Amino acid sequence: MAPVATTTTTLTTAASSVPIKTLQKTDASASSSIPAPLLSSHTLDNEIAAHLTPAIGTQFKESFQLSSILDSPEKIRDLAILVAQRGVCFFRDQDIEPNDQVKLGQALGLAGGKPKHHGLHIHPLPSTFGELGEQIAVIDEKFNKDQYDDEEKSEHASLNWHSDITFEPVPSDFAILKLHTLPPQGGGDTLWASAYAMYDKLSLPMRELLSGLTAMHHAPTFQTAKRENGFLFRGEANTDVARGAEENRGGSLTAVHPVIRTNPVTGWNGVFVNKAFTKKINGLKKDESDFILDYLYRLNESHDLQVRFRWEKNSLAIWDNRTTLHCATNDYHDAPRSGNRVVSVGERPYYDPLGLSRSEALRDAAGQR
């Protein structure tokens, strides 16, 4: 493979001046500018209670309130970096209100470097909205029941592993979910898995193969709901606002994304496919695609790259959809379980050939100390 030369320039954003590593490609394609990883100021280190597993998940102290950092750009930036590094962070007994949840979701995305003109996602299903507005999806037992016909629903809970809205051309970077109502008898835990750790498990030849591939993502359950109920998706009519980015319009709910995605905040590579929305790896025969996707999904199910969170009233989770997958546990039947979710729309997914695996990056950092 021909060598790739790099230069460094500076990208100025509203939040900060971020160095940019520019790839001078040796082939006929145009050069592209890829952000260098962000460096933390460690302003939140004293608020961390524990890293829950080596691969993923960080718990904040119960005394910490996210509402206390809403007017602190430096702390929001450090939170964005921490979530991007650890995949998901958990907070107990939060007092943050829905409007401030919206404010924090957008601020995290901007701090992580997303385009300024990208906003928060508007879910395509009209039934997901309550009286809190289009940018806040009400997640409850009805939300889950409306999407899946009981006769078609599999009893394998692991089939619902997903990253949010990968059916959109510009999917999510950060998401925030706060639950205020829980099943009286317990249940409804959520699991997250690290896409970084999935990539770490791949051999070098497999990484090389997958790094040159893209996959088609779609949303068949949403299309079924639309067809059976006769509604239009949000963002489908010409008079509708876009679903967080101008590219996220229309009714197809299909997108093509790289199989290996680089997180711009960390510069680390992760596997970017999921059972719920990934249809097929492009360029491969169906049997080949199914074989590879099945292998990647089996990696997703490895418990050494997962963390499981048991919700309490007013618990809140913030995760990075670029480098995690998650799956709710629907073991509470028709019992109440509800809360408010905000999903930030990030950047178009890309693969950086200079990106590192998480383990490589941490090993290099340890060697520099």
In order of 14, 112, 153, 289, 362, the CA distances from 172 in angstroms are 20, 12, 26, 24, 25
Please return the burial class of 195, using the count of CB atoms within 10 Å of its CB with bins 0-12, 13-18 and 19+. Answer: buried
Active-site residues, by number, are 162, 164, 326, 341
Full-model pTM: 0.88
Q: What is the pLDDT of residue 5?
A: 39
Tell me how far apart the alpha carbons of residues 295 and 107 are, in angstroms, rounded to a whole number: 36
The pLDDT value given to residue 142 = 62
Number of Cβ within a 10 Å radius of residue 300 = 22
- Say what the pLDDT of residue 168 is: 98
Q: Which tokens sit at 225?
A: 């709901």
| CA dihedral sign, ordered 244, 247, 251, 256 | negative
What's residue 332's pLDDT? 87
| Tens-digit pLDDT string for the chain (369 aa) | 333 333 333 322 233 323 323 333 223 333 357 889 999 999 999 999 999 999 999 999 999 999 999 999 999 999 999 999 999 999 999 999 999 999 999 999 999 999 999 999 999 988 655 556 688 988 876 655 544 455 555 566 667 899 999 999 999 999 999 999 999 999 999 999 999 999 999 999 999 999 999 999 999 999 999 999 899 999 999 999 999 999 999 999 999 999 999 999 999 999 999 999 999 999 999 999 999 999 999 999 999 999 999 999 999 999 999 999 999 998 988 899 999 999 999 999 999 999 999 999 999 888 876
Cα separation, 109 vs 131, in Å, equals: 24
Please state at what angle helix 98-111 crosses helix 73-86, rounded to 10 degrees: 80
> In angstroms, rounded to a whole number, what is the distance separating the alpha carbons of residues 33 and 7?
10
Q: Cα–Cα distance between 1 and 356 in angstroms, integer? A: 17
